Amino acid sequence: MKPSGTTTPLQCTGAAPTPARAQLKISVGMVIALVLWLAVVVGATILMTRYSNTPGRGGQTPISWPKGSQIPTDSNRPTLVMFAHPHCPCTRASLGELERLLARVPGRLRAQVIFLKPAGTATDWEKTDLWRKASSIPGVSVGTDNAGSEARRFHAETSGQTLLYDPAGHLRFQGGITFARGHAGDNAGRTALEELLREGHSNQVKTPVFGCSLFETQCQKADVLCQP
C-alpha cells in the first residue's frame, strides 16, 4: 500500500527538443535570411543597371553652328564641343573616351570641353577635378559656360553631350561617347567620330548621352546624385 497523503508526480508527455530539431530551426532561419538578402541585392543590382543604362535628355541640336556663340571654331578642321557638368561623376568616363579619340586621330580636329557654371555659384565652382582632367588632355581647350548660355544655344541638356561640326559649320555628329553612365570602353559614339574624322562619313551620326542633367535644380547645386 502507498502511504496516505502522497501524490504521484506529474509526468511530462512531450519529448524534449533534440539537438537535431534545434539545428533545423537555425538552418531554416538562415535560409530565410539568405533569401531576403539575395532579394535585396538582386533588386539593387537591377535598379543600378537600369539607372546606368538610362540616357539623359537630348535637345534638338542646331544643324548649323549657332550665330552668337563665343566658342572658337576652326576654319580648316572640324570642331568638337563637349558640354560637361563639373560635378557629374559620369563625365569622367566621357573625358576618358575623348582622350582615347584624340589619341587615335591626332591633329584632325579642334576639341573643346565647356563646363557649366550656373548663375550665382561661387568663384571657381566649375574648376573641379574634372576640369583639371579635361585640361590635361593633349589637344583639348577648356572653357566656362557662364549661366549655361552656350549649352542652351546648342540645346545641350546632359553632361557629356558631344557635337561635331565641320569647318563650314554643319553638324556632323551629336550624342554621347560612352555606352552607359560612368562606363568607359568601346562605344558607338566614339566609333562614329573616328569614322567621320578618318573617312569623312559614318552610318551613325546620333547616339544616346549618358550623364547628369545640366539644368535640373539639384544639379545646379552640385548634387552628384543627379537624375536623368
- Give the domain ranges of the chain: 25-54, 79-220
The rounded distance, in Å, linking the Cα atoms of 184 and 210 is: 11
**Number of other CB atoms surrounding residue 56 within 10 Å:** 25
pLDDT at 161: 97
Mean pLDDT of the 159-165 span = 97
CATH number of 79-220: 3.40.30.10
3-state class (DSSP) for residue 197: helix
For residue 54, give Cα distances in angstroms to 57, 173, 211, 227: 10, 20, 9, 10
3-state class (DSSP) for residue 227: coil
Residue appearing with cell numbers 539644368: 215
pLDDT at 58: 73
Q: Which candidate, 225, 198, 197, 194, places its Cα nearest to that of 212?
A: 225
pLDDT at 114: 98
User: What global pTM score does this model have?
Assistant: 0.75
For 194, the grid coordinates are 573616328
- For the chain, the residue count is 228
* Segment among 12-16, 75-79, 104-108, 148-152 with least mean pLDDT: 12-16
The rounded distance, in Å, linking the Cα atoms of 202 and 211 is: 24
For 124, the grid coordinates are 571657381
Q: How confident is the model at residue 216 (pLDDT cuts 50, 70, 90)?
A: confident
Q: Which candidate, 151, 149, 144, places its Cα nearest to that of 125?
A: 144
pLDDT at 210: 94
* Segment among 5-14, 17-26, 87-96 with least mean pLDDT: 5-14
Q: How confident is the model at residue 43 (pLDDT cuts 50, 70, 90)?
A: low
- pLDDT higher than threshold 60 for residue 67: yes
